[in-house]
Structure 1
Amino acid sequence: MTNDQPIGIFDSGIGGTSIWKAIHNLLPNEKTIYLADSKNAPYGQKSKEEIIALSMKNTDLLIEMNCKLIVVACNTATTNAIQELRAKYTVPFIGIEPAIKPAATHSKTQTIGILATKGTLNSELFNKTTEMYHDTKIVEQVGHGLVQLIENGDINSPEMTELLGSYLTPMIEANIDYLVLGCSHYPYLIPQIKKILPEHIQIIDSGEAVAKQTQNILKDKVGFSSAQSSSRSVGTIFYTNSNPKVLAEILENKYTVEERDF
């Protein structure tokens, strides 16, 4: 079964490009359309109703662009809106949740840390997931201010270093041996985080798991692209409703980024 329609991906900003990269690396022949809703970032501070409305707005645009599958590359949008999205639309959705399972399963100290947005940590879906691992101590930390700094291109700023230190130090003191990154923006902070964490603490994000799930849905439900080879930029479109410069830089200026109001 072949299907040359694109895969749609949306996030509250540029962070979901970490998910896009994982998908593109695994499925390089697939066309992709990426929406960075940076104008409305961060989603983590918004109400559930606002998050659902923004997620539907993004979905409507991707369906208008004929996407065969939509990846919600935002933890906050997944945990707050994916049930409503699946109920309203017929297109398959893939969500992104904090990778608690591998961390809890492999933890030797039975203590793991989760760095995520307020919207994710307060969600019903997140709380249901954590309840499954009552033998594991889960140290939760809201990453106040991190998304905004990333969106502003201030990944390596002194303010970022200071914030991360204040968030991670209590986790280190609590004896975590796994840190789960519960926001698709946060993988861009891994070099910074590694400078703070002791070497034995493993960092886990969701990119690879989402890419594999995307591959499974293409195989079982919607079909792969018929393309046999891909060029770096053909079939990849990035849209942002804010300053395109930061998104272009996070993509190492290898792809065209178009500014569009949505």
Structure 2
Amino acid sequence: MNKENPIGLFDSGVGGTSIWKEVHALLPNENTIYLADSKNAPYGIKSKEEIIFLSSKNTEFLLEQNSKIIVVACNTATTNAIKELRAKYDVPFIGIEPAIKPAALQSKTQTIGILATKGTLNSELFHKSVSNHPDVKIIEQIGHGLVQLIENGDINTPEMEELLKSYLIPMVEKNIDYLVLGCSHYPYLIPQIKRLIPSHIKIIDSGEAVAKQTKRILESLNLINGSNKKSSQIFYTNSEPEVLQKLLNYEQNVVYKSF
């Protein structure tokens, strides 16, 4: 395996760019290829079989681009398909799942909230994570409609604010002191969420942990790119690239392609 081969990342759409940003910040010399399957977003309302099919298709695309490691930058795909992906493909996979453990261990009120997709909350992997913390009350909330609004670029809209209020206020009333964001799209909502919940409630997402795990695995396999060449960042989308470009703040040296 060539060390200069790219890190591949995929998501049901643009949300996984929140993970890409953390990976790129920690590993700026690495080439990356990001696949946004926006045409099929959101994955969270699909069956497990559909999620496995789409995740396999995305993986094969990234392997065709010679990816040396694949980051499943989607909670729903990780919790429903990563076991099957690891069994099927001979490449290291990094998954992303809701950060229940740090929230549960640090909670003072012994009550945490989790905002996630239906696919993540219904998954076997999620239920296994929850069962590890029987003493903590976990308030689950499906974020109906949030992914689609983000995919459409409708982040700072009255509709988004109303949805967030309806999901968050009942959690606040149940005395949560941690809010776990269980979808890679949701970090883009943190500014609005902070305006809607008390300041003592801590918000946790998984981006930094995923980046650190990616670095650890690459180091353990001796696959860190030591080249001094300027790294390349390529984003593939099967939808319009405008929302991607906006979320990446029109970042320089990024190439957008259709697939």
TM-score by length of 1: 0.96
CA distance in 2, matches of 1:91, 1:131: 29
Give the count of matched residue pairs: 258
CA distance in 2, matches of 1:101, 1:127: 13
CA distance in 2, matches of 1:141, 1:180: 10
CA distance in 1, matches of 2:236, 2:257: 6
- Aligned residue in 2 for 1:120: 120
Contact 1:242–1:259 (8 Å) recurs in 2: no
CA distance in 2, matches of 1:196, 1:259: 37
SS in 2 for 1:67: coil
Contact 1:244–1:257 (8 Å) recurs in 2: no
* Residues 1:241 and 2:245 are matched in the alignment: no
SS in 1 for 2:256: strand
CA distance in 1, matches of 2:223, 2:69: 10
- Aligned residue in 2 for 1:73: 73
- Aligned residue in 1 for 2:133: 133
CA distance in 1, matches of 2:229, 2:150: 33
- Aligned residue in 2 for 1:48: 48
Inter-CA distance 111–22: structure 2 relative to 1 (3 Å threshold): same
- Aligned residue in 2 for 1:105: 105
CA distance in 1, matches of 2:71, 2:82: 10
Percent of residue pairs bearing the same amino acid type: 71
- Aligned residue in 2 for 1:17: 17
Tell me by how many angstroms 1:229 deviates: 6.2
Contact 2:233–2:255 (8 Å) recurs in 1: no
Instruction: Extract structure 1 runs of 4+ deviating beyond 6 A.
Output: none
SS in 1 for 2:239: coil
- Aligned residue in 2 for 1:96: 96
Tell me by how many angstroms 1:190 deviates: 0.1
Gaps of 5+ in 1: none
- Aligned residue in 2 for 1:189: 189
Amino acid at match of 1:131: S
Gaps of 5+ in 2: none
Contact 2:234–2:257 (8 Å) recurs in 1: no
Contact 2:111–2:177 (8 Å) recurs in 1: yes
CA distance in 1, matches of 2:184, 2:196: 20
* Residues 1:260 and 2:232 are matched in the alignment: no
Alpha-carbon RMSD across the aligned residues, in angstroms, is 1.2
* Residues 1:150 and 2:150 are matched in the alignment: yes
- Aligned residue in 2 for 1:211: 211
Tell me by how many angstroms 1:94 deviates: 0.3
Contact 1:71–1:94 (8 Å) recurs in 2: yes
Tell me by how many angstroms 1:221 deviates: 1.6
Contact 1:247–1:257 (8 Å) recurs in 2: no
